[in-house]
């Protein structure tokens, strides 16, 4: 079955500390993976996707097909990074599968 | 270029009432989606459309209907609202089924 798992509902870190939001997927084909971010009371917006291999707002994510993971990382968290983060999998047709999300709180 | 817009922003309904949520996009996207967002459950797909005049069921379609009469608009209808439909509803659109989705601002619906 196709599935996206984000094991942490809430992740709290101190400002300046490294951040890693975990995402694991289950899909037998060639996945397209995305990270979306939702700031408080705002719409979801794309943070990054694996094929672009770029860094957005200091965040990076590497697709590890062996471990079926697409963890989101940032070396030094900022208070403005506090938000809800969703990992999503596209199977290439119409279908996107979203994880349940991880709320990141960056403490001063 | 407004992107994806949704109306209304907030609505309170009584059980059994009906309403329609409107989603509009000005990016000439073929694909449009309706999701509901509930605490601890992430985003769940209600219905989607791969082009004007087409609609299909997603993961949680019961109690909802949709229409895509014009390419830029995707309507979500609740014929007889239930408290279990209290949620935040997001519309999204994309060029294809594997490209970035662009989301609307959401509609908060409370069913009493």
List pLDDT tens digits, range B63-76.
999 999 999 999 99
From the list A45, A91, A100, which residue is nearest B103 (CB)? Answer: A45
User: How many angstroms separate the CA atoms of A37 and A58, rounded?
Assistant: 13
User: How many angstroms separate the CA atoms of B106 and B36, rounded?
Assistant: 9
What's chain B's Rg over C-alpha atoms?
13
- List A residues 35-94 in contact with B (Cβ-Cβ < 8 A): 36, 42-46, 49, 86, 88, 90-94
From the list B45, B56, B104, which residue is nearest A43 (CB)? Answer: B104
CB contact under 8 A, A94 and B31: yes
Q: Is the model's pLDDT at B1 over the cut of 80?
A: no
> pLDDT tens, position by position, for chain A (108 residues)?
789 999 999 999 999 999 999 999 998 888 889 999 999 988 999 999 987 777 789 999 989 989 999 999 999 999 999 999 999 998 877 778 999 999 999 999
B-chain CB neighbours of A95 within 8 Å are 45, 97
Residue B35 near residue B53 (C-beta atoms within 8 A): no
């Amino acid at each position: 079955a196709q599935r996206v798992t984000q094991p942490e509902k809430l992740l709290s870190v101190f400002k300046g500390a490294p951040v890693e939001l975990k995402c694991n997927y289950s899909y037998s084909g060639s996945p397209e993976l995305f990270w979306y971010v939702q700031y408080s009371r705002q719409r979801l917006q794309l943070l990054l996707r694996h094929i672009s291999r770029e860094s957005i707002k200091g965040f990076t994510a590497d697709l590890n097909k062996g471990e079926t993971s697409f963890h989101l990382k940032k070396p030094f968290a900022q208070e403005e990074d506090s938000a809800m983060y969703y990992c999503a999998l596209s199977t290439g047709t119409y279908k996107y599968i979203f994880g349940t999300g991880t709320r990141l709180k960056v403490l001063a | 270029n407004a992107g994806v817009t949704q109306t209304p922003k907030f609505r309170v309904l009584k059980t059994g009432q009906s309403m329609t949520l409107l989603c509009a996009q000005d990016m000439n996207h073929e694909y449009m989606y309706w999701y509901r967002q509930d605490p601890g459950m992430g985003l769940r797909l209600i219905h989607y459309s791969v082009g004007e005049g087409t609609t299909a069921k997603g993961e949680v379609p019961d109690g909802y209907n949709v229409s895509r009469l014009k390419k830029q608009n995707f309507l979500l209808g609740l014929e007889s609202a239930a408290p279990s439909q209290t949620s935040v509803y997001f519309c999204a659109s994309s060029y294809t089924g594997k490209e970035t989705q662009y989301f609307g601002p959401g509609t908060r619906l409370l069913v009493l």
